[in-house]
Chain A
């Protein structure tokens, strides 16, 4: 016999995950509803980008990075996940008015849903990355088991950043556009198609301010080099996330309340 409060609590947990699943499912369906290509669309974007990069950095301005396809494609996948999720999450409060106005709807679930959808796309693209790795002759190593840990950190980081952005978009409706520009800039300022080691020493500290940098480095250490990631850098990222998340959540809650009240 379980006590009533425990059962109620358990049901709440179960319901939260059901809700998450249903909403992710809804997002996926909406994304591919009118697309003939369906799920393959997820891959086309990074693959096209990769083709361009390969052409530019191999034939036009050759840069000397071994296993360039795997290197660039892994960076692209990781970045795309966070970028897409952040961009979409920013419009969440304003575009889900009807959902937020449902009694007792846990509004805070929305950025989680968006990030989760991104994660699923990321996972779906992983086999392609594995093919690239195989073609580039990378041997799988035991450190691959650390991959989920990195994904968890990236997940929480993305959700943590999505909260304040979505909140900001309520006050300033151009947040999403501004963010688009910023993310495009950050894309180039993150070592995605180039190596961090090629960045001049005096600029390195600025790169360390970007939490995506240690994450991408850690992914590559695991995937390409088969070595342990830089634990110290990851710990710092985790601490940053631990501060951003509750803060962002609080702002998000306040703004979503104000939003439904005032519109």
Chain B
């Protein structure tokens, strides 16, 4: 990114003249030109380096005569430096002088126009913005009075208003913000904040360290023309204040560098700031200085108190190498001030998970005076922390995340195209009859409608192996819920066609059908005579398998317990939306319905609203696995066909998922118990899975 201001090695030298330096031509001629020469030269600024990027705000702190205003002037192109370079990109707006060249004999109106043009607007632009300027300054009724009738506050308001209405890309503000009433000050500060978000680079001079701490992204402390500290406002302002304080109390702590337990050097005013009334003796990052993103860490601050302190605030900031603060907290936030007794102590901050992006960070620890006036001790960029993450993009945060898609997932849900067509044996005695049926038949004979993860696949496999396949149709056509607008004609082309004896059977398997609220009605309207096969499983087990499936395909990032806990939220209003809008696709309904899909009784009831009980065959996978032959013959009876195995089919029932935590299993068992009981009562068969 292009920086708005780049200052490199800046130095400004002033001349100091003797007090009796001639001020008139006569004197000079009489006393000789030698007295005109400066007696001494001094550097008002030396070796100043900083950058301000667009949208950034730099605060400059320092006492009178520290060179703040000189620096601001040089930035504004007033005067030329003796050393180094200043580069300012963009239009400069500034409030360097109260009054901005206003003339006391002219009216407010005249002065505004002059001021706006002087500030860089054309006359037309100035005229166009005139009303805004006056309105912002709240001086409408005085605008045609001469400037000499204005109070200082009013003049400042008008000057500020002009300055902020000139679209500056770089705004320089000397400490005039302190002029004027509080309400207007707030207005100005808001306006400045607005500029900042619009990408305006701002340099602000202030006496108030608190103001700089509150408003600025960076701070720079000047002392006798040199930079004492440049960096985070909190650090610099705290440091400035602590020096102001220690100066008055004559105890500026300067001591030789100390070494921390991790081997880093602590150097006062470089990475250590504060009055040292309380000292941080060590900071430990536990369990390790290197963690994985999302891990928990504990930050342990060891401190020693030479003299009791009434109240103190502990603070921790985790920042990036460039100083960007990523996480910040302090003991004040929990509303507690900690009184510190003499001696040593330890305070720990536990962070349950630190979801930071890959990279190098620092743990900064500080102990502050109870009103944040200054720091007792602050260690900055001393304790490293490396966070490992699989996401290597430039990102500060790396929280658990997932993508969610609203709208139809056409591509994902498109059925695979029908593939194999088996030639029919023409020697088959019923060949003519079968081929007529194949030509004419469009309607499905039966549907395997679910439920998901309940063994519909082995059942289909079993059927495919016992029937003579003419055409293997698409797997999971999802016609009635996701592809309904494609029409029945399209649908019948996707169906599997097989032959049993002299009978041709059209069928398909889509486990989402049973659960989708619109399907039963649609199936009934299209094919009221179709037979429906339902395969069920213990809903506790089903939920676990479903969860592991979602994890495997990357749709689920939560722990199982959290996933089922957040299910009500995830599904909230989804069914209503599906019912209200036929075109609505609900990702959550399809994917995050671990428990809801297991409440079979409600789904079966829905189907029984349209179809008579005899048209449904409801099976349990547990029975099927235990005794496939018997259950399968039930299926054949239901379909009114006879068939024998063409080749041996092995049920693939490998579950390499880990076991569900037993306490959740118990919890879920209890959860499903009443529903299972209700289902058993409804169907007059045992579906309790106990």
Contact = CB atoms under 8 A, between A and B. Distances in A.
Asked if A and B are interacting partners, one says yes
Interface of A: 11, 14-15, 18-19, 21-23, 25-26, 29-30, 33-34, 96-105, 171-175, 178, 257-258, 260-262
A217 B78 CA distance: 42
B25 A172 contact: yes
A22 B117 contact: yes
A127 B238 CA distance: 71
B99 A18 contact: no
A98 B99 contact: yes
A257 B102 CA distance: 20
28 contacts: A18-B123, A21-B123, A22-B113, A22-B114, A26-B103, A26-B110, A26-B114, A29-B106, A33-B106, A34-B105, A98-B101, A99-B101, A101-B73, A102-B96, A102-B101, A103-B76, A103-B77, A103-B78, A103-B92, A104-B76, A105-B78, A172-B25, A172-B28, A173-B23, A174-B23, A174-B26, A262-B14, A262-B15
A20 to B, nearest CB: 10
A34 B97 CA distance: 27
A228 to B, nearest CB: 40
B598 interface: no
Interface in B62-80: 70, 73, 75-80
Interface in B102-143: 102-103, 105-106, 110, 113-114, 117-123
Given A174-B24, A262-B14, A98 B106 contact: no
A97 B99 CA distance: 11
Contacts of A18: 117, 122-123
Given A18-B123, A257-B79, A260-B78, A103 B172 contact: yes
Interface of B: 12, 14-15, 22-26, 28, 36, 70, 73, 75-80, 92-94, 96-97, 99-103, 105-106, 110, 113-114, 117-123, 172
Given A18-B117, A22-B114, A257-B79, 10 more contacts: A19-B118, A23-B118, A30-B105, A98-B100, A103-B96, A104-B77, A173-B23, A173-B24, A261-B73, A261-B79
A103 to B, nearest CB: 3
A96 B101 contact: yes
A101 B97 CA distance: 7
Contacts of B121: 15
Nearest to A178: B25
Interface of A is mostly: helix
Which 5 pairs of residues, A with B, have the shortest CB-CB distance? A103-B76, A174-B24, A99-B101, A103-B94, A103-B92
Contacts of B110: 26, 29
Nearest to A99: B101
A173 B23 CA distance: 6
Contact of B73 (A21, A22, A260): A260
A85 B508 CA distance: 100
A77 to B, nearest CB: 27
Contacts of B113: 22
A210 to B, nearest CB: 21
Given A18-B123, A23-B114, A101-B78, A261 B106 contact: no
A223 B339 CA distance: 94
Contact of B78 (A15, A96, A100): A100
A104 B79 contact: no
Contacts of B94: 102-103
A29 B113 CA distance: 13
Contacts of A173: 23-24
A194 to B, nearest CB: 30
Nearest to B172: A103
Contact of A260 (B12, B25, B79, B117): B79
Nearest to B16: A262
Given A18-B117, A22-B114, A22-B123, A102 B14 contact: no
Contacts of A260: 73, 78-79
Contacts of B92: 103-104
Nearest to B75: A103
Contacts of B101: 96, 98-99, 101-102, 105
A26 B26 CA distance: 34
B578 to A, nearest CB: 53
B73 A30 contact: no
A195 to B, nearest CB: 34
A173 B21 CA distance: 12
A4 B70 CA distance: 33
Contacts of A103: 75-78, 92-94, 96, 172
Contacts of B75: 103
A261 to B, nearest CB: 4
Nearest to B21: A171
B77 A261 contact: no
A104 B106 contact: no
Contacts of B12: 261
B570 to A, nearest CB: 51
Contacts of A34: 105
A257 B105 CA distance: 27
Given A98-B100, A101-B97, A102-B96, A15 B122 contact: yes
A29 B14 CA distance: 38
A46 to B, nearest CB: 25
B73 to A, nearest CB: 7
A177 B154 CA distance: 36
Contacts of B93: 103
A174 B96 contact: no
Contact of A102 (B28, B79, B97, B103): B97
B118 A102 contact: yes
A49 to B, nearest CB: 27
Residue of A21, A23, A26, A96 with most partner-chain B CB within 10 A? A26
A60 to B, nearest CB: 36
Contact of A261 (B26, B28, B70, B100): B70
A118 B319 CA distance: 63
Nearest to B96: A101
Given A102-B100, A172-B28, A173-B24, A14 B106 contact: no
Nearest to A253: B80
Nearest to A21: B123
A131 to B, nearest CB: 33
A99 B78 contact: no
A258 B252 CA distance: 37
Nearest to A261: B79
Contacts of B122: 11, 14-15, 18
A105 B118 contact: yes
A173 B27 CA distance: 11
